[in-house]
C-alpha cells in the first residue's frame, strides 16, 4: 500500500528539548515536503527536498532543520522548540514533475510547553 | 504576503446543491493549482488539479474553473452530499522551484 508515515503522531514536549519528527514514504518519490497547519492559516511550507541531499527553505523555515540522506526518509528537526512551534505538522511526497502523485502523511500534533 | 486568497471561510449547502469555493493568486510563477479535501484528524488528500493551459477540468462531481488573466480559480461541487462535508484547500505551486502556497481553507457543511 502506498503511504507516507509520520512518527510520532502526538508529542508533548518542553521548550528547548530537541526533537525529531520522522517521515517515510514507500513510493520511491523524489520530492518531499514539510508543512505546518495552524487554525485559519491553511498549510505553510517549512522545507522541501527535490531529491537526496537536496533541500531548500519554504515560507516558514525558522527554527526547523531537515535532512535527506535517503530517498525514503525526510526527518524534521526542532533543535530548540518554542511554544510558537505548537502546531499540526504534515509531510508529503510525490514524484518530481508529477504532482498528481502526491500523498500526505497522517500528521503529527506537537505541543510545546 | 498572502499569495493565495481563498473564500469563503465557511460554507453551508443543502444536499443536492452546488458548492462553490474561490481562490485568487498573485504569483505568476505558479504553474499547478490543486484542490485538497481534508477530513478531521486526517491529512489533506488531493482532490483535483489544473494547470494554466486549460480553463476547466471536470472529474465526476468536481470541476475546477481557471481564469489565467484574472488569476483566479474555483472549485465547483455539483450535487453536494453530506459526505462532502470537509475542509477544502486550494494551492498554487511553482513546480520548478518546488514551492507551494496554500489558501486558508474553507469548511464545507452539506446539510441532509
Q: Which residues on chain A are in Cβ contact (under 8 Å) with B4?
A: 42
Cβ–Cβ < 8 Å for B33, B50: yes
Overall average pLDDT of the A85-108 stretch: 94
Question: In this model, does residue B15 exceed pLDDT 70?
Answer: yes
DSSP letter (8 states) at residue B66 = E
Closest CA to A66 of A35, A112, A104: A35
* Whole-angstrom distance, CA of residue A5 vs CA of residue A2: 10
Residues whose CB is less than 8 angstroms from the CB of residue B107 and which lie 6 or more positions away in sequence, other chains included: B9, B10, B11, B86, B87
What size, in residues, is chain B? 112
Confidence of residue A96 (pLDDT cuts 50, 70, 90): confident
Q: Which residues on chain B are in Cβ contact (under 8 Å) with A57?
A: none
pLDDT tens profile B23-39: 999 999 999 999 999 99
* CB–CB contacts below 8 A, A to B: 54
The alpha carbons of chain B give a radius of gyration, in whole angstroms, of: 13
pLDDT tens profile B59-102: 999 999 999 999 999 999 999 999 999 999 999 999 988 899 99
Cβ–Cβ < 8 Å for A32, A46: no
> Are the beta carbons of B44 and A58 separated by less than 8 Å?
no
Cα-flanking dihedrals φ and ψ of residue B82, to 5°?
Answer: -55, -30
Overall average pLDDT of the A29-54 stretch: 94
Residues whose CB is less than 8 angstroms from the CB of residue A73 and which lie 6 or more positions away in sequence, other chains included: A22, A23, A24
Give SS3 for A84.
helix
> Are the beta carbons of B98 and A43 separated by less than 8 Å?
no
pLDDT of residue B2: 56
* Whole-angstrom distance, CA of residue B14 vs CA of residue B109: 8
Cα-flanking dihedrals φ and ψ of residue A40, to 5°?
Answer: 75, 0
* Whole-angstrom distance, CA of residue A42 vs CA of residue A13: 24
pLDDT of residue A108: 98
Amino acid at each position: 500500500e502506498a503511504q507516507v508515515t509520520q512518527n510520532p503522531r502526538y508529542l508533548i514536549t518542553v521548550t528547548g528539548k530537541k526533537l525529531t519528527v520522522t517521515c517515510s514514504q514507500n513510493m520511491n518519490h523524489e520530492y518531499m515536503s514539510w508543512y505546518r497547519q495552524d487554525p485559519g492559516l491553511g498549510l505553510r511550507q517549512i522545507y522541501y527536498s527535490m531529491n537526496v541531499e537536496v533541500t531548500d527553505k519554504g515560507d516558514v523555515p525558522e527554527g526547523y532543520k531537515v535532512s535527506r540522506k535517503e530517498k525514503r526518509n525526510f526527518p524534521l528537526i526542532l533543535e530548540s522548540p518554542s511554544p510558537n512551534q505548537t502546531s499540526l505538522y504534515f509531510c508529503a511526497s510525490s514524484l518530481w514533475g508529477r504532482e498528481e502523485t502526491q500523498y500526505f502523511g497522517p500528521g503529527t500534533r506537537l505541543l510545546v510547553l | 504576503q498572502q499569495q493565495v486568497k481563498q473564500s469563503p471561510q465557511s460554507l453551508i449547502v443543502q444536499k443536492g446543491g452546488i458548492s462553490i469555493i474561490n481562490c485568487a493568486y498573485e504569483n505568476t510563477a505558479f504553474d499547478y493549482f490543486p484542490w485538497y479535501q481534508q477530513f478531521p484528524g486526517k491529512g489533506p488528500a488531493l482532490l483535483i488539479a489544473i494547470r494554466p493551459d486549460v480553463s476547466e477540468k471536470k472529474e465526476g462531481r468536481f470541476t475546477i474553473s481557471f481564469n489565467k488573466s484574472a488569476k483566479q480559480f474555483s472549485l465547483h461541487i455539483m450535487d453536494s452530499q453530506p459526505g462532502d462535508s470537509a475542509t477544502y484547500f486550494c494551492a498554487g505551486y511553482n513546480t520548478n522551484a518546488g514551492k507551494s502556497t496554500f489558501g486558508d481553507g474553507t469548511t464545507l457543511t452539506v446539510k441532509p
